[in-house]
Chain A
Amino acid sequence: MLKIEPRKEPSRVMLYATPFLAVLFTIVAGFILFSLLDKNPATATYLIFISPLTSLYTITELLVKATPLILIAIGLAVGFRAGVWNIGAEGQFTMGALAGGAMALALYEVEGLWVLPLVCLAGALGGMAWAAIPAFLRTRLNTNEILVSLMLVYVATLLLGMLVHGPLRDPDGFNFPESRLFHDAATLPALVAGTRAHVGFLVAIIAVIVAWILLRSHMIGFQIKVVGQAPRAARFAGFSSPRIVWFCFMISGALAGLAGIFEATGPVGQLVPALPVGYGFTAIIVAFLGRLHPLGILAGGLLLALTYIGGEAAQISMSLPSATVQVFQGMLLFFLLATDILVNYRVSWIASGRRPAKTALQQPAE
């Protein structure tokens, strides 16, 4: 019989082991799934998890996908630690791309080294502005930021669609709902010449390092943790929880906005209605897979990027359904949440020890 009992304190081993367990379970479940679909599971697993690492091109593509995931997840993790459930990073991503893109278009064919930083700044501010709405509503009216931020995702997507169909449309674009291609001064330099990997990845790395230091040893990180875990203790310590809520939303909004403008000025090169492809949601999985720890998020972001690239490769070469990638990502989150119980609870097998207790229970009833 399986017995689950609470631990006296969270297990540190399990805290770090469960993400690996979740990946393992996902691979096993994938094996079963592919077998049921009559596809060779070994080939599929190889295609998804190994083959993307075998060529320079796919590795650079991996960085392209990992960049927004890591950037967004870092911001989200800061919030999640404080109990700020910003689920709308996708919207902040979109608004960042929109604000930064609008800046790039306004400065069209203006040259200068300052153009790109200005565009990126506009992107970050766009994301922050969008995140300010749930932050304001939560701190002032105590609304649920999960709902507010999530609903704003759809508003942002529709706004992007409206603007690229209208004011931001390429005047020479034969009425296609797309903006102009950004000019060179507003385009993100490539990290590896000839590939789509861009310097945004370096920014993501910097974000990881800065977040790591802040969360580990700065009072900001400490305050975030206390506010998230024990709001009353936070008041006792003199931490202002509205200020922390605002801080978290601004950080996650800025990073998501930055991810958005990097995507627009990097691999895409223009504003298109299909710019938001779900990085903001996948980043939630990345944040939890990484245990809300910046280094974990770096690894988690790369892994999820792998499932994107590998999943697409497997789709094409094995004619798998297009939902494969989402199924994998979903399973990963599912197994992560399922194994999470091991952190705070101990699971043990009770063999025969239980039987005497039962007979004792029955005795007085006789």
Chain B
Amino acid sequence: MTKPDDAYLLELEGLTKTFPGVKANDDVSFRVGHGEIHALLGENGAGKSTLVKMIYGVLRPDSGAMHLHGETFAPARPSDARAHGIGMVFQHFSLFEALTVKENIELGVNPELAKGDLRQRIIEVSDYYGLKLDPDRMIGDLSVGQRQRVEIVRCLLQNPRLIIMDEPTSVLTPQEVDVLFATLRRLAEEGCSILYISHKLEEIRALCHTATILRGGKVVATCTPAEETAKSLAEMMIGAILMPARRESSSIGDVRLWVNRLSLPSQQQFGIDLKDISLDIKAGEIVGIAGVAGNGQEELMAALIGEHTLGDHETLQLDGKPIGRMGPDERRGLGMCFAPEERLGHAAVPNMSLIENAVLSARIRKNLARSGFINFREAENLSREVVEEFKVKIVGLDHAARSLSGGNLQKFIMGREILQAPTVFIASQPTWGVDAGAAAAIHQAIMQLAKEGAAILIISQDLDELMTICDRIAVIADGRLTEAEPVANLTIEQIGVNMGGQAERSAAHA
């Protein structure tokens, strides 16, 4: 055995982990130095999550060894890892919705830390790192972005020596990303190492000192991201030449979806009221809505899907036909399809099979339930088509939706909706947590749909995504929507300013 080197904080030697049917990690070795921001890059299913779970003590390797500070390190559970100064911010937050911020943090830290004036320390740490947080708010009332702050603060409270971050910027505005990066750089200067998982290659180039690239469970390259291009990184990651998604201008037709001065008081205590929202989307057009999570996107989505029907039938019009009082079924019947942000529990039923989940939203347009009886054979055919066309990695069509990885489930959901050939397609966060290759495929499918004459609305917090695929972009802030402007007239900074709550002013000017 080679003698571990104390110059590195964490060393992985030949880690291997096999699950039934798949070798998730195969002889993975790399080193993370003190104060180093180390990127872990790879497609969905490349083994990043498995690897990170082993470091954090959630899983145990079949073989191989880890060294922390030159000592053998084999955490049996996350609390062991935390006791050794390893913190983790998950992509899917492990928070209890019915408890407050403080209570959640109390539960997630080691008992000694929970003693004393935890509330005060939460405020101090969150202020110090510019991650504003109210310890007494219920998690259920927080936006995705705010929930992430809870996770980060929980981590920072324990003075970690290594922080693992899984796709941390997906829910932040460009300005917030800058704040986070400043925080991370400061932490690194203070000697804390960071293992940074992301598929946003530009971010990795800007932030990370070193990158380890995984493909199919193996390390395929280690590089200095600043010396690479985003394209070369992506190509190492997917092992093929990447064709970047490029927006071909398609011929724009008549207005398909028209939102006419939509105001909707929120149904929840801390929800956002929608205020006087107007928007039109023409055939062949892709319109984007940018905004920080929790500024009314969810409420707008609910109103567009028809989960909350509108009092005034005329407020929402499809091809000139009022649809405001219609429910989701009727709207689907007229050609609309939807892909909400939350995959499990909203867009899909976690414990139901993929076939049943196809029935969930496709039964009207695909006629899967004639005279009330479900045609499972056709539902299966549709699911198979989705899986093949969108390259969803599955164990079997009859397995539960929750057994899929996040990215794969997202591909399934997007495929399920797109294959219904909608004339109006509305998607929220279409590529959240999806790797670069799959995101490009989803973008391609969306653009193809637009080319065929569909009107498309994309609600996303990923500005790069919106800038790449949209014709026009509007910004939502505190329940108000700015006028949708052609992408050519917009800069990221401008959108960022609007996202930060200047929307009211712009709306008044518009």
Q: Which residues of A contact B (CB under 8 A)?
A: 8-10, 217-220, 222, 225-226, 229-230, 232-233, 235-238, 240, 353-354, 356-358, 360-361, 363-364
Q: Is B136 an interface residue (CB 8 A)?
A: no
Partner of B76, one of A232, A237, A361: A361
In the complex, B352 has a CB within 8 A of chain A: yes
B397 at the interface (CB under 8 A from A): no
Interface centre among A8, A219, A229, A230 (most CB of B within 10 A): A230
Cα–Cα, bound, A203→B399 (Å): 35
A-contact bits for B308-352, CB 8 A (1 contact / 0 none) = 000000000000000000011110100000101010011111111
> Which residues of chain B (371-391) have a CB below 8 Å from chain A?
372-374, 376
Q: List 28 A-B contacts (CB under 8 A).
A: A8-B400, A9-B402, A9-B403, A217-B376, A219-B369, A219-B372, A219-B373, A219-B374, A220-B372, A222-B356, A222-B359, A225-B349, A225-B352, A226-B360, A230-B346, A230-B350, A233-B360, A235-B302, A235-B307, A236-B346, A238-B328, A240-B327, A357-B60, A357-B74, A357-B75, A357-B80, A363-B71, A364-B71
B305 contacts chain A at the CB level, 8 A cutoff: yes
* Contact B402 A364, beta carbon cutoff 8 Å: no
B71 engages A236 (CB within 8 Å): no
Binding site for A on B (CB under 8 A): 60, 69, 71-76, 80, 83-84, 302, 305-307, 327-330, 332, 338, 340, 342, 345-352, 356, 359-361, 363, 369, 372-374, 376, 399-400, 402-403
Closest 8 CB pairs of A and B: A238-B328, A357-B76, A238-B329, A9-B400, A235-B307, A230-B349, A360-B74, A9-B403
A sample of 15 more A-B contacts (CB under 8 A), given A232-B342, A236-B360, is A8-B402, A9-B399, A218-B374, A219-B369, A222-B369, A222-B374, A225-B349, A230-B349, A232-B345, A233-B346, A236-B346, A360-B73, A360-B75, A361-B75, A361-B80
Q: Are B374 and A217 in contact (CB under 8 A)?
A: yes
CB distance from B230 to the nearest CB of A (A): 34
Q: Smallest Cβ distance from A309 to chain B, in angstroms?
A: 37
Q: How far is the CA of A364 from the CA of B74 in the complex (A)?
A: 12
B140 to chain A, nearest CB (A): 13
- Whose C-beta in chain A lies nearest to the C-beta of B83? A361
Q: Is the CB of B372 within 8 A of A9?
A: no
Are the C-beta atoms of B350 and A229 separated by less than 8 Å?
Answer: yes
Assess A238 versus B403: contact at CB under 8 Å? Given A217-B373, A233-B349: no
Separation of A363 and B356 alpha carbons in the complex (Å): 51
- A residues within 8 A CB of B328? 235-238
| CB-based contact B347/A363 at 8 Å | no
How distant is A211 from chain B, measured CB to nearest CB, in Å? 15
| Residues of chain A lying within 8 A (CB to CB) of residue B84 | 364
Give Cα A353–Cα B60 distance, bound, in whole angstroms: 10
Q: In the bound complex, what is the Cα–Cα distance between A8 and B396 (angstroms)?
A: 13
Q: How far is the CA of A357 from the CA of B369 in the complex (A)?
A: 54
Residue of B74, B84, B305, B359 contacting most chain A CB atoms (<10 Å): B74
What chain B residues lie within 8 Å of A360 (beta carbons)?
A: 71-75
Please name all residues of chain A whose beta carbon is closer than 8 Å to the beta carbon of B83 when the two chains form the complex: 361
CB closest chain-A residue, reference B59:
A5
Q: Is the CB of A238 within 8 A of B76?
A: no
Interface centre among B73, B342, B360 (most CB of A within 10 A): B360
Identity of the chain B residue whose Cβ is nearest the Cβ of A357 in the assembled complex: B76
- In angstroms, Cα B134 to Cα A279, docked, is 52
CA of A70 to CA of B372 in the docked complex: distance in angstroms? 26
User: Chain A: which residue is nearest B376 at the CB level?
Assistant: A217
Q: Of all chain A residues, which has the CB nearest B307?
A: A235
Measured CB to CB, the nearest residue on chain B to A221 is B374
Among A236, A357, A358, which residue has the most Cβ atoms of chain B within 10 A? A236
Chain B residue at minimal CB-CB distance from A213: B373
> Chain A nearest CB: distance from B298 CB in Å?
11
